[in-house]
Amino acid sequence: MTTATRRSALFGLGLLGALLAGPTATAEETETPPRLIPHQGFVEDVLRSGELPVADPRAMFTWVVSQLPERVKVWPTESYWYFSFFHRGVKYAGNIRLDAKDRDAGKVHFAYFEDLAEWRVEPEMSYLLLDETHGVKLERVEPFLYRLTANGRSVLFEINDMKGVKPPPEAVLADETLIGPVFDDSAVRFFLVWNRKAKVFHYVLDETGPPLEDFLGMNENPRTLIGKRTGFAYYLDPRTDRKILIGVFEGNSRVNNAYDGPFDQLPDAFIVGDTLRDAIIAHDPNMKGKIDRYGGLADGTGRFLIAPYRYYREAEDLFAFHECATDPAIPARDLPLCFSMNWDVGEAGELAAHTARREAARAAKAARAKKAKKPAAPASRKGGATTR
């Protein structure tokens, strides 16, 4: 068992540096310098005294659209265009979503709510599903470009086209299937992969572009890294040194911010056929007949959760992944289970490898008990058969 004080578990690493050399940045990337974000703007937004019709979702949609430029870019792969604003000193968050499964039918999803905080009760959300019957027209201009028109104003929504993004050979192993590329709202890219033998999902960091953040390492083991910007925790897979997402900071998850994990940014537009649905059913047979090809529940109330990582508070919460991966009692075939949480076991969950080991022990015990109860075969009679 590894041990560490709470304040000594981490040490700084440079921007990957010699740890993993990323590809050279393109000219477009190097020609976009950082921009200053003055605090002054925040203060002045809070101090604005004008009124907004926050109690009227349709009127708020009109206002939001009126504030947009002629063209916007929708980066996340579940096609949410996020925004925020202040009203009476209160921050609101919201989104316009062009969902892959109904945008070609002219549907527009709109939602906003008072911004979340750990210290308060979760506020109610205002939500509308809009189409031409509400005076909102959405039409496809090109496969990844849509024109939204409402109240006489039109805005082009450019969807992030990732169909050409392919993983390097080491990112998807022989026992795995690529579900698709993920662009999270944290600006981090992943490959969502499905392990057919272990029946678990992984989010593998896409490192085909330039690195976007520094990492902190752990004194206790050299294979766990935590992003300084996102708080995302990764484990360096001993088979290929790819980075598997193993942790998301719990505080970010509770307030539903950009760093709450990629569970809500699945590769909707890039899923081939029923690949995702088949994987989910193989993972959880109870889902058969209950989900669509995107993993959405048939009754429209939600979506199957793919969050195989742990929600952690301290770096020490991540020790279990390394202990599992280096445990000689864990067979090599179960190594993928060391990087996947099983959320069906209690509120805190547990590593899928621990579940598998416990179930294997239970099955072995049941087999021994069955063998012990088996009646002995009757003794044969000497002298052969008898007749009456």
- Using alpha carbons, list the distances in angstroms from residue 108 to 83, 131, 141: 15, 6, 15
The rounded mean pLDDT for the chain is 89
Residue matched to tokens 């590329």: 181
Please compute, for residue 320, the number of CA atoms within 13 A of its CA located in the half-sphere on the CB side. Answer: 20
Q: Which residues contact 298 (CB under 8 A, 6 or more apart)?
A: 289, 290, 291, 292
Least confident among 159-163, 227-231, 296-300: 296-300
The separation between CA 201 and the C-alpha centre of its own chain, rounded to angstroms, equals 10
CA angle 36, 37, 43 (to 5 degrees): 145
Q: Each residue of 44-71: b (16+ CB within 10 Å) or e?
A: eeeeeeeebebeebeebbbebbeebeee
**Residue 229 to residue 258: CA distance in whole angstroms:** 11
Domain spans in the chain, listed from the N-terminal domain onward: 39-159, 164-364
Residue 239, number of CB atoms within 10 A of its CB: 11
Whether residue 248 is predicted with pLDDT greater than 90 in this model: the reply is: yes
Please compute, for residue 238, the number of CA atoms within 13 A of its CA located in the half-sphere on the CB side. Answer: 14
Which 3 state secondary structure label does DSSP give 266? coil
| Band of residue 377 on the pLDDT scale cut at 50, 70, 90 | low
Residues linked to residue 91 through DSSP beta bridges, in sequence order: 86
Q: What is the mean pLDDT of residues 132-157?
A: 97
| Band of residue 375 on the pLDDT scale cut at 50, 70, 90 | low
Whether residue 337 is predicted with pLDDT greater than 70 in this model: the reply is: yes
What pLDDT is attached to residue 23?
A: 39
pLDDT digits (tens, 9 = 90+) for 10-29: 777 654 433 333 333 444 44
**Residue 163 to residue 361: CA distance in whole angstroms:** 44
What pLDDT is attached to residue 30?
A: 54
Residue matched to tokens 């997402």: 245
The separation between CA 157 and the C-alpha centre of its own chain, rounded to angstroms, equals 23
What pLDDT is attached to residue 362?
A: 78
Q: What is the mean pLDDT of residues 330-345?
A: 94
Q: Is 91 exposed, middle or buried (0-12, 13-18, 19+ CB in 10 A)?
A: middle
Least confident among 87-91, 247-251, 265-269, 378-382: 378-382
242 and 170 Cβ atoms separated by less than 8 Å: yes
What pLDDT is attached to residue 359?
A: 81
pLDDT digits (tens, 9 = 90+) for 309-321: 999 999 999 999 9
What pLDDT is attached to residue 13?
A: 62
Residues linked to residue 226 through DSSP beta bridges, in sequence order: 216, 233
Nearest to 233 by CA among 208, 219, 216: 216
